[in-house]
Every structure is written in C-alpha cells, then in structure tokens.
Amino acid sequence: MASSAVALRRVVHRYAPPLLAVLVAAAVWASATGDIGVRSPLPSVVVLLIALGSAWAAATVRTRRWPLFLAAAVGWLVLAAAAAGVLASYQAGLRLRGRQLAGYLAGAAVVLTGGVLVGLAVGGVRRITTASTGNVLLLAACLVGLPLVFGLWVRARQDTLAALRDRAERLEREQEARADRVRAEERTRIAREMHDVVAHRVSLMVVHAGALEVTAVDPATVEAAALIRTTGRQALTDLREVLGVLRQAGPAVTPERGLETLDELIGESRAAGLRVSRQDEGVPTALPATLGRTAYRVVREALTNVRKHAADAETTVCLRYLPDGLEVLVRNGPSEGGSTLPGAGQGLLGLRERVELLGGRLEAAPVDGGFLVRALIPLAGAA
C-alpha cells in the first residue's frame, strides 16, 4: 500500500504541470467564448494568446510565481477569466508568507477594483457579472478567499508533517545514542568483570606453574609446568585483546588467525597430550581470508571438544580443497573414558551460525564410537 502511494505521488508530481496548463488554457478559452463566463468581443487570436500565456504560467509555477500572478491579472481584466486567478490565490496561500502574502492581497484588491471599473465601462453582461455589489463579493470569495485559505491549510499541514518527521528523526537519533551509550557501559562492565575475575585467576595459574617448573625435580613435571605456563600466558594475551575490543566505543576488528597458523594450533594440541594428525587433499589454493578464519575456528573448536571429552582418542584433521570451496573434517576415534572437562554446549552452535553466514553447512555427529565435525564452506559465500 505504501509503495503504491509513493508511485502515485511520483506520477502526480511528474505530470501535474502539463495537465494543469491544459486545464487553465481550456478554462480561459471557455470563459472568453461564453461557455463558463462572459463572452469577450476581442479577436480569437488575442484570446488564444492569453490562454497560452496563462497555460505557460501555470506550468512554470513551481520555479517562478510572477508569470502566474501577471496572467491572472490580465485574464481577469481583459477577459473576466477566473481560472488563472484561482490558481494564483492557491499558490499565494501555499508559498507566500508575511509581507509577500500581504502584497498579494493588496494586488488582488487592486485587480478586483480594476475589474469593477472595466465592467462599468463595458456594460451589459460584463457589468452585471463583475461590477454589481453581490457578484463582486462572491467573486472576491471564490477567486481569492477560498483558494487562499485552502493553500494556507495545505501549507500548515505540510509544515506540521515536516515538524513531526523532524521530531521522529531526532528522537530516533537520541534513542540510538542512548542505546550506544548503554552498550558501551555494558561492554566496559563486562571487560572489568573479566579482568577482575578471569585474568586474576589465569595469572595465578601462570605464577604457580612457573614456581612448579623451578622447584620440580621430575622432568615430566617440569615439562608439564612449562606447557601450562606458556598456555596461560597465551591465554592472558588473548584475553587482553578481547578486553581491548570490549573497551572500545565503536566496532572493532580483532585480529584472527587463519589456516596459515593451523600447524601451530595442531602443535599446541599435541603438546597438550592429544594425538592429532593432519591431512590435506586436493590442490591447495589461495583462499579468502574470511574462509580461512572460519575454517581455523572450526578446527579449533573441534580440537577443544576432543580435549574435553576424548583426550586419549586418535584425531585427524583433514582439509579437502574443492573447486568451489573447502571441506574441513575433524574426526576422533573412540575414547577409553576418563575425566572430561565441563562445557556450555554453545561452541558448535556458534560455529554453525558462522558457517551458514558464508552459505555453507556444518555437521556434527557421533561416528563409529567417535565424533565427526564436518564443515563445507563455499568460495562464493566468502568472496
């Protein structure tokens, strides 16, 4: 419905001037020939020129007003034609303000007075129509009063709608500013809480791991403590990056790893005790950065789940380079059981959303006693 109204408004705005010009010209001609007014004794050529001049003035009223006011005065004084005068009064109410509007009213009074004098001089039907008291008052109301009031009403309505529109836009901007401020405050609060709680505990873990590395005698214990200390420091670095993003007022982009660091991720998993192997199939090609980051996050989340739930299982990371995309498979075999780490169950849901944003799909399901995570990411979605 709204689109139809907009289309109709555009059509009216485009074709209104020529249609208005035709109507004014036809009304002036009909008035001069006596069909809707007083028949004029002037030659048809003069009537035609006045009609065409009035039509041109009506067609150009959006860019200039004085030709229409002049055509209205000439048409009334020479032919007693009211069409241009009615349109001029409406345009005066719609466009003029203050002194300009007062000047128009004074000019209209002069033209009406001139019409009375011409009617008295010509006599006959012209005198009865334009010079008698009752007709003069009626003509003043029809030619000036009613069109002027209608134009004033339209202008007032337009001003009211514009004011309401401006107010709505201002309120919307203020609401967006308040929402941005609330989001910034919430981000700052979250960053503070993460720093006070998570960073503090991870720092203690790094300190204790460092102390254990120095005091331990068993080489295996020393190696495990060094791994814990290194991982904890990396976690603190990542946490600082996240806190920096949260504290920024505007949107920020956190540097993310891609497939170029996949071997490093697998190495970290092996150092943590996982038995992970990597396989590449197909012809490796240059991939968009978005696709590489998504594939990296799929592998990272899958390996994290393996560490949580099947730390002793054989795990394979496979990248299949396809002509139109990349297939990522992370599969672990059966686990002997043992302790598992708690999880929120949201990692795979977030990955599925990320993959689907690129037009791909992600599958995660038990297979032969183990678990398989498979992501198919097309090149078209990441381009």
Give 141-151 pLDDT, tens digit per residue: 888 889 999 99
pLDDT value at position 344?
45
Phi, psi of 378 (to 5 degrees): -80, 155
pTM of the model: 0.50
In the structure, what pLDDT confidence band is assigned to residue 373 with cuts at 50, 70 and 90? Answer: very high
Which strands, in side-by-side order, build the sheet including 325-332?
Answer: 275-281, 314-322, 325-332, 370-378, 361-367
Q: How far apart are CA 231 and CA 260, in angstroms?
A: 20
Q: State the sign of the Cα–Cα–Cα–Cα dihedral 272, 259, 382, 366.
A: negative
pLDDT value at position 256?
64
> Helix (H, G, I), strand (E, B), or coil: what is residue 315?
strand
Give the range with max mean pLDDT: 132-136, 147-151, 191-195.
147-151
Q: Is the pLDDT of residue 102 over 70?
A: yes
- Kindly state the tokens that stand for 4: 């139809």
Average pLDDT of the chain to the nearest whole number? 82
Q: Which of 287, 280, 355 is nearest to 325 (CA)?
A: 287
> Helix (H, G, I), strand (E, B), or coil: what is residue 2?
helix
pLDDT value at position 341?
45
Stretch 58-82: mean pLDDT, rounded?
A: 84
Q: Is the pLDDT of residue 339 over 60?
A: no
Strand partners, 363: 374
Give 209-251 pLDDT, tens digit per residue: 888 877 887 888 878 888 887 877 777 777 776 776 666 655 4
Each domain of the chain, given as residue ranges in start order, spans 1-63, 259-378
**Class of CATH domain 259-378:** alpha beta
Residues in contact with 45: Cβ distance below 8 Å, sequence separation at least 6, in sequence order: none
Q: Is the pLDDT of residue 75 over 90?
A: no
pLDDT value at position 336?
75
Give 264-323 pLDDT, tens digit per residue: 888 888 887 788 999 999 888 888 888 888 889 899 888 888 888 888 888 999 999 998
Q: How far apart are CA 205 and CA 211, in angstroms?
A: 10
Give kind and range of the element (H or E) at residue 337.
none
Give the start-end residues of each E strand in 163-312.
275-281
